[in-house]
Structure 1
């Protein structure tokens, strides 16, 4: 187990910490946990690439940790009435679909597509929406819907990248 993969695993461990803090009425502390997860996300990728420690398990676990944290945040915000169910449903559909598809193809021996700039931009916009929503600032739901739309466009980029990476010529 290398350092980048340990950082990724730490993000899985931060999910229940976020939920406990947020659901116990400490949104600022919970937001700091989300930021800590974001920092470990940046660090694990940077260290892995810079040190030649990129692994297939890391490529698979990294986005899974991100998606599960995002689902936890969305679930908490829905439970708190800060975002509409429709937005949460669309986000959950996309995130669960990406998780299931990634796992399905990973276990079939296909290469997993690493994060790209579109995915990173989507994450930044999601984080902006989360900050606005958790701190009761205006525009949070609007920014969230923008991130949702971008996430679906990003999915198409990932599908095309997956097909190129794995030499696929037929429809998935």
Structure 2
């Protein structure tokens, strides 16, 4: 197990920590929850950088890294739904897209297909989701309108990802 993969596993631990803080009575709970979210984002950047820099990119990491990202995002959006900061429609769109990506990645991986690593569009989608989450956590006006733009962009990136997956697996046959 290399350091980038350990950092990815650490992000899985941050998910219940975020939820615990978000729904707690701790003073400044939103700041603490937001801090955990930022830590998750920072470890995501660091593990990817270290994996590429040190030649430690692994199939396990390629599969676990986006899974950790998506599960964290799902947890955050679930907390925002439960707290009334986003509508059920927005949450459903996000859940459908992310669960679809998780299930498809797992199926492809276990069928021995080559998984497409994160690309610039996927990274931009993640950054935009973090901006939207920040706006929503701190109740910024029109945050959900911005979120809908990010949701639309995320569906576009999913289509691009599926196209790349098809191309990379056709070439490897």
TM-score normalised by the chain length of structure 2:
0.95
Name the CA distance, whole Å, in 2 between partners of 1:156 and 1:137.
30
Residue 79 of structure 2 aligns to a residue in which SS? Answer: helix
Report the Cα offset of residue 165 of structure 1.
Answer: 1.2
1:21 alignment partner in structure 2: 21
Q: 2:43 aligns with which of 32, 40, 45?
A: 40
| 1:138 matches 2:102 | no
1:7 aligns with 2:11: no
Gaps of 5+ in 1: none
Instruction: Provide runs of 4+ in structure 1 moved above 6 Å.
Output: none
Aligned residues: 169
Question: What is the CA-CA distance between 1:139 and the residue it aligns to?
Answer: 2.2
For normalisation by structure 1, the TM-score amounts to: 0.96
Cα displacement string for residues 113-144 of structure 1 (whole angstroms, at most 9, x for unaligned residues): 11111111111111111111111111210111
TM-align CA RMSD: 1.2
How far the C-alpha of 1:12 sits from its partner, in A, is 0.2
Matched, 1:153 2:160: no
1:62-77 equivalence runs, <5 A = 62-77=65-80
Q: Runs of 5+ in structure 2 lacking a partner? A: none
Whether the 8 Å CA contact 1:125–1:143 is kept in 2: the answer is no
